[in-house]
Chains A and B, each alone.
Chain A
Amino acid sequence: MNIFDKFDKLVQAGQKLEQEFGAFFQVVMDEILSSTEAVINGKKVILAGTNNYLGLSMDPECIEAACQATRQNGTGTTGSRMANGTFSGHVQLEEALSNFLGCSNTIVFTTGYGANLAVLSSLAGPGDIALLDADCHASIYDGCRMGGAEMFRFKHNNMEDLEKRLSRLQKRKTNILIIIEGLYSMLGDRACIREIVELKEKYGAYLLVDEAHSLGVLGENGRGLAEEAGVSDKVDFITGTFSKSLGATGGFCSSNHQQLEILRYASRPYIFTASPSPSNIASARKALEIIATRPELRTRLWQNTNALYDRLSSLKLNLGPEPTPIIPVRFTDPHEALRVWKGLLAKGVYVNMVLPPATPDGSAFLRCSMSASHTPEQVSTIGDAFEALTSE
């Protein structure tokens, strides 16, 4: 028996997946032409599945900020925040995020996954209860597991189920941390945050909102779902990523609990990781400035979102429950999803394909994500391609 034998089942599943769906897993972006176009297999395609909601990964100001920071401070920090890895840029970005979100404290992390892992593994410890929406991201599950809190799921956006659980768990007389996402990455729907805040208050729980997909997308100022719903002051912790609207790599946690700072000493994923590179920090900071000063980006994002959602709805496709920049087209047969995905690529449109068991309901999704940078013509091309492939 060798050390890899335990992966036998996974290897078989992987081989089957490669045989049937290899075309998707083997996609390589040969060249990025803009935030909405790339070359794949020698062919120019429209990118409609990259979560680059504001198109800032290719924004000239963000690129210039990254280049300047690299020239000034180098390609990497070569150390953790605890040691030699705290540069002035990290501190400035933490202040900028706190100001932007109206919070007293912020900690930045090297990835969005790392942010949830670092925060939850230290915040929700043994004896605490983590109560998470079933559709939460893997980083949330992994962080809670690592921390040793008892984990309970409530049915996705189901307030009756959440209250039933809170009512049972409150008898334990311990800390309960409810964890939700601003926009759920699979179905693209919002959390029922107002109702959740009411329940959190009623049962004396804490609330963490992962605004990974909603930062820069929702709210009058792009602060996320909590801002849009008018409950920012009721949210205890906000986590998020730099890898969506901010077009970089990294993550953060912001809070009005000043004790958040203790995580710098308590959180192993924070302590034992090299800090984010100067280029990522600089471009994320510039992107945050852009989000705050160019609301027209959000306007364009939502125009594109509504245009594509309406077009796909008119084709009677099975979409996510509400129009948001994440638009999943759902198929009961994964092979039908693959046929359409291949057809879209042949017609010059790239979208994500999500297969079970990653999907919440066993179906397969072609997940489109819209960007402020898509032109109306590109949105039409995406719609035309879906129409040609699904009305055959």
Chain B
Amino acid sequence: MGEEREVLGKIIQILKPMVPEDTEITPETDLATDLSIDSLKSMEILAQIEDTFDISIPINVLAEVRTVEDLATQIKKLI
């Protein structure tokens, strides 16, 4: 549980500078509709996550990712 929270926290830290300052990011936040993350931004975000955790994220898994929590779940599987 602690590890999951840590992953979630790091992802939120990476997302924050990519969205308007007053945007609240929770595990339930929808990456596309709530944060308007386009394909260019998403590449940048994924690259930062990969560097942070020293992993490679296959884009195949992104089809299952809608929320911040979904993303954290997939990252946890790759660590």
Contacts and interface: CB of A to CB of B under 8 A. Distances in A.
Interface residues of A, number: 16
B20 to A, nearest CB: 16
A321 B56 CA distance: 29
Contact of B56 (A145, A155, A169, A357): A169
A285 B50 CA distance: 46
Interface in B39-79: 39-40, 43, 47, 50, 54-60
A204 B46 CA distance: 25
A152 interface: yes
Interface residues of B, number: 13
B59 A155 contact: no
Contacts of B60: 145, 150-151
Contacts, number: 31
B59 A360 contact: no
A361 interface: yes
B21 interface: no
Interface string A136-152: 00000000010000111
A153 B55 CA distance: 13
B38 interface: yes
A357 B39 contact: yes
A173 interface: no
B56 A152 contact: yes
Contact of B54 (A153, A168, A356): A168
Contact of B47 (A145, A151, A161, A360): A161
16 contacts: A150-B58, A151-B59, A151-B60, A152-B57, A153-B43, A155-B47, A161-B47, A168-B50, A168-B54, A168-B55, A168-B56, A356-B38, A357-B39, A360-B40, A362-B38, A362-B40
Contacts of B39: 134, 357, 360
Contacts of A161: 47
A155 B43 CA distance: 8
Nearest to B57: A152
Contacts of A357: 38-39
A165 interface: yes
Contact of A151 (B38, B54, B55, B58): B58
Nearest to B62: A151
Contacts of A134: 39, 43
Closest 6 pairs between A and B when the two form their complex, measured CB to CB: A150-B58, A151-B59, A168-B56, A151-B60, A169-B56, A151-B58
B40 A361 contact: yes
Contacts of B47: 155, 161
Q: Which of A153, A360, A362: most chain B Cβ within 10 A?
A: A153
Nearest to B59: A151
B59 A152 contact: yes
A362 B40 CA distance: 8
A163 to B, nearest CB: 13
Interface string A332-374: 0000000000000000000000001100111000000000000
B58 to A, nearest CB: 4
Q: Which of B47, B50, B56, B60: most chain A Cβ within 10 A?
A: B56
